[in-house]
Structure 1
Amino acid sequence: MGGHGVDGAAARGPVRVVLADDEPLLRRGLRVLLESGDRVRVVAEAADGEQLLSAVARHRPDVVLIDVQMPGVDGLQALRRLRAQPNPPVAAILTTFDLDDYVAAALDLGAQGFLLKDAEPEVLVRAVLDLAAGGAVLDPRITARLLPRLRDAGDGLRASQQLRVLSARERQVLDLLADGSSNGAIAAKLGLTEATVKSYVSTLLAKLGVENRVQAALVAQRVGGESL
């Protein structure tokens, strides 16, 4: 799932973020929102994918927020190249409401979060903190638009079949993971150690045949009320 010491990010201080968007005013606004407290620090900004990749190499951030539509190397290309690197940072996509196709493509490329640019400030900050802690972040408005497309593709039945291979405890972990809970939060709720939760997460990802937490969350959410 990647990340530069994500579980220890909070202990070291603010979560370190690289912000990539080709609109300077939007970047500035997002930076102000994210840095409104002492929990997040934007260590670099990027106007395109090449600048993003350079900034990541230079600053080694905990979390990268990536706009999809950028000139030259766009967000999806940058994400593909980031995910090919050893120990990549946690990557989340910043998008607008109508880019369903981009969301699906980014999901396939291993993005661990999907945030809408018009999200409330506290939602954005909490999302970054959750990502740094190992959580999956998927704006409910994106989920609502994405799930019907996945069901139309026949994935609902396959998701039901996938969930049947999980043990009862793995289903509990998956349900909490699907709510965006980090390993630490899951451990606290289930009375387990964080190391045990990490083991459960690794096992259920392998059983479901998915690469990261956000993909696992979507498998659970495709089934709807049966799993959540």
Structure 2
Amino acid sequence: MNQSIHLLIADDHALIREGLRKILSIEPRIHVVGEVADGQQAVEFCTHNVVDIVLMDINMPVMNGIEACRRIKELRPNIVIIALTIHDQDEYLFELIKHGISGYVLKDVDPNQLIQTILGAARGDSFIPPALTARVLAEFSRLTSGDHHDRKHQSLTDREIEVLRQLARGQSNKAIAKILYISEKTVKNHLTNIFNKIGVEDRTQAALYAIREKLVDL
């Protein structure tokens, strides 16, 4: 990945924004293009500027991060959003996943882990802390304990199902390519087809779909 990542920091605490900027300045591939103090400013900035990734706090004045995420994804669906928060409460995570976030990182995250999460998100990967992943899986298991199933995946080819299963296990595109003996470009093409067929917009939603439909054993 040689292209610079244009990143926006959205947090209502100036000291946190300054600290994040200093941490991210270590990585030459990440270019902080702006800082905003509330969700409304984040939406406006993304509307008028080139942004690849938003590092988004949840609790902000004027407009919170969840609503800002929803609006940004409606206006600019290609923008990647990573939630950065002190909260590990399930309802925040479920709402953000529903609106298409690519990562959920707690504010006590190791700086290197934060950088790697951003670089991974730029490649199309997603990240949710393992402890929170377990809660998500438990909740989806509870919600899908009945007999209702969405059969969109029946239109997937055998290869697409294999790719989807590997994605749900947390594998990156590079890892999937190695496991299935195909190129990364082929993996990306399969993922595009999978997303279209099952009606999702990103890797996180696709992984949760696979889990909900019991296409993968974790």
TM-score, normalisation: structure 2:
0.84
Structure 1 residue matching 2:121: 3-state secondary structure: helix
Is 1:78 the counterpart of 2:71 in the alignment?
A: no
8 A contact 2:168–2:216 mirrored in 1: no
Other-structure match for 1:186 = 176
| Matching of residue 28 in structure 1 with residue 28 in structure 2 | no
| Superposition deviation, residue 58 in structure 1 | 4.2
Percent pairwise identity: 36
Q: Cα–Cα, structure 1 residues 155 and 130, in superposed 2: closer, same or farther, change >3 Å?
A: farther
* 2:107 equivalent in structure 1: 117
Q: 2:198 aligns with which of 203, 208, 212?
A: 208
User: What residue number does 1:68 align with?
Assistant: 58
Does 2:2 correspond to 1:11? yes
- Partner of residue 3, structure 1: none
Report the count of equivalent residues.
218
- The verdict on how the C-alpha distance between 1:20 and 1:206 changes in structure 2, with shifts beyond 3 A counting, is same
For 1:97 and 1:223, locate their aligned partners in 2 and report how far apart those are by CA, in whole Å.
28
Residue aligning to 2:30: 40
TM-score by length of 1: 0.80
Q: What amino acid maps onto 2:188 in structure 1? A: K
Choose between structure 1 and 2 for higher RCO, CA contacts under 8 A separated by at least 6 residues. 1
| Separation in 2, partners of 1:21, 1:154 | 35
Structure 1 distance, partners of 2:184, 2:53, is 21
Q: What does the per-residue CA deviation read over 1:135-190, in whole Å, with 9 as the maximum and x for residues that have no partner?
A: 12222222122222222222686679776764442233123323444434533443
Tell me the amino acid that sits aligned with residue 194 of structure 1.
E
Q: Structure 1 stretches of 5 or more lacking a match? A: 1-9
Residues 17, 157 of structure 1: CA spacing in aligned structure 2 closer, same or farther, 3 A cutoff? farther
Q: CA RMSD in A?
A: 2.8
